[in-house]
Amino acid sequence: MAHPLDNHPILRMNGAGNEILVLDLRGTAHVLAPEEARAIAAAPRLRFDQLMALHDPAAPGDDAFMRIYNIDGSLSGACGNGTRCVAWALAREGKERLSLATDAGRIETRREAETLFTVDMGRPRLDWRDIPLAREADTRAVNLDPPVAGAPAQFSAVSMGNPHAVFFVADAMAIALEDLGRKIERHPLFPERANVSFAQILSRDDILLRVWERGTGATKACGSAACATLVAAVRADLTERRARVRLPGGDLHIEWRADDHVMMTGPVEFEFETRLSPSLFEGAAA
């Protein structure tokens, strides 16, 4: 029996180096299962950091409903770099501004230039229950207890629709990202796991950042982590409310506006469009 995604078109893109797939399922009733996402990731040339699946809008005024998958098949509440890639894909239909619904809330985008987009990532969630943490804490400075060898003793916790632990360090490049990221992601403090960031403050408007994403691993960029890091830095009086965030894949420009919304501006790059091979899903349940 044919799989509903056999020969379905899919876009390969990147947002500041974040490896993104855009799968347009509008007009179909298919919802991607975790094992199907993993099967796509296993295909030659289709490994991704996040897969953005688009569905028909569920509410008037929305352009699409968006589900975001990590490489392990788990769902993510937010992906700023992937959202910019979606904005580029839908701009081909003449849509310069978008309203995209997700399980974590609504996201607005606008096109600034040919391959430059701004995403309104919404308001950060700062209460320990909303991130969530396993216990009550002042989220500006949470003790990492039990401690993790080699990790700083404290972090700042922020949710941008997904949980983030931001560690401010003197030298982000000296951090053993894969070792610490893997351990801290599943620390008992985080009932839903966490994205783990190590941030080095270069100046009041310049941050160097390395990120371990839950469900994916070390990535070249993470838009929601860049947003969470600026929010954490402002709360600690380390930066102003607007800064450049330097990631291994490129720079993002983040602003935490006075209305509490976090705006992210950055580039996208189209790599190629292909079709999903029928053989991909032979072992995956529909």
pLDDT tens digits for 237-254? 999 999 999 999 999 999
pLDDT tens digits for 155-172? 999 999 999 999 999 999
Give the pLDDT score at 153: 97
With contact defined as beta carbons under 8 Å apart, do 75 and 83 qualify?
Answer: no
In this prediction, residue 284 has a pLDDT band, given cuts at 50, 70 and 90, of low
Quick count: other Cβ atoms within 10 Å of Cβ 117?
A: 27
Query: What architecture is domain 9-122+269-281?
Result: Roll (3.10)
Of the chain, the percentage scoring pLDDT greater than 90 comes to 92
d(CA 158, CA 107): 18
Give catalytic residue positions: 79, 222
Gyration radius of the chain over CA positions: 18
The three-class DSSP label of residue 136 is coil
Tokens, residue 274? 């292909």
Give the pLDDT score at 172: 98
Q: Is the pLDDT of residue 41 over 80?
A: yes
pLDDT tens digits for 88-127? 999 999 999 999 999 888 999 999 999 999 999 999 999 9
Fold of 142-260: Diaminopimelate Epimerase; Chain A, domain 1 (3.10.310)
Q: Is the pLDDT of residue 45 over 50?
A: yes
With contact defined as beta carbons under 8 Å apart, do 57 and 65 qualify?
Answer: yes
> Where along the chain do its domains lie?
9-122+269-281, 142-260
* Helices 80-91, 223-235: crossing angle, 10 deg rounding: 130
Give the pLDDT score at 286: 43
With contact defined as beta carbons under 8 Å apart, do 218 and 177 qualify?
Answer: yes
Phi, psi of 228 (to 5 degrees): -60, -40
Q: Is the pLDDT of residue 132 over 80?
A: yes
Q: Is 142-260 the same fold as 9-122+269-281?
A: yes
**pTM score:** 0.92
d(CA 178, CA 257): 32
